[in-house]
A = this chain, B = another copy of it.
Amino acid sequence: METHSTAVAFGGTQTVHTHASKVCGCDMTFAVYMPPQAKAGPVPVLWYLSGLTCNHTNVMDKGEYRAHAAKYGVAIICPDTSPRGDNVPDDDGNWQFGSGAGFYLDATAEPWRKNYNMYSYITQELPELVAKNFTVDMKRQGVFGHSMGGHGALTIALKNPDTFKSCSAFAPIAQPTTADWSAGAFAKYLGDNPELWAEYDATLLIENGRRFSEFLVDQGDADSFLDDGLRPWLLKDACEKADIPLTLRMQPGYDHSYFFVSTFMEDHIKWHAERL
Contact = CB atoms under 8 A, between A and B. Distances in A.
Contact of A10 (B8, B10, B61, B263): B263
Interface stretch (A107-115, A211-219, A242-250, A254-262): A254-262
A64 B67 contact: yes
12 contacts: A7-B259, A8-B222, A8-B253, A8-B260, A8-B263, A9-B263, A11-B263, A14-B259, A61-B61, A61-B62, A64-B67, A67-B67
A66 interface: yes
Interface size class on chain A is 20 to 34
A10 B254 CA distance: 9
Interface of A: 7-11, 14, 61-62, 64, 66-67, 220, 222, 253-255, 257, 259-260, 262-263, 266
A269 to B, nearest CB: 13
Nearest to A8: B253
Contacts of A61: 61-62
B260 A9 contact: yes
A203 to B, nearest CB: 27
Contacts of A259: 7-9, 14, 66
Contacts of A255: 7-8
Nearest to A264: B10
A222 B6 CA distance: 12
A260 to B, nearest CB: 7
B7 A66 contact: no
A254 B64 contact: no
A266 B64 CA distance: 12
Nearest to A266: B67
Contacts of A66: 259, 262-263
A9 to B, nearest CB: 4
A253 B39 CA distance: 14
Given A61-B62, A62-B62, A7 B67 contact: no
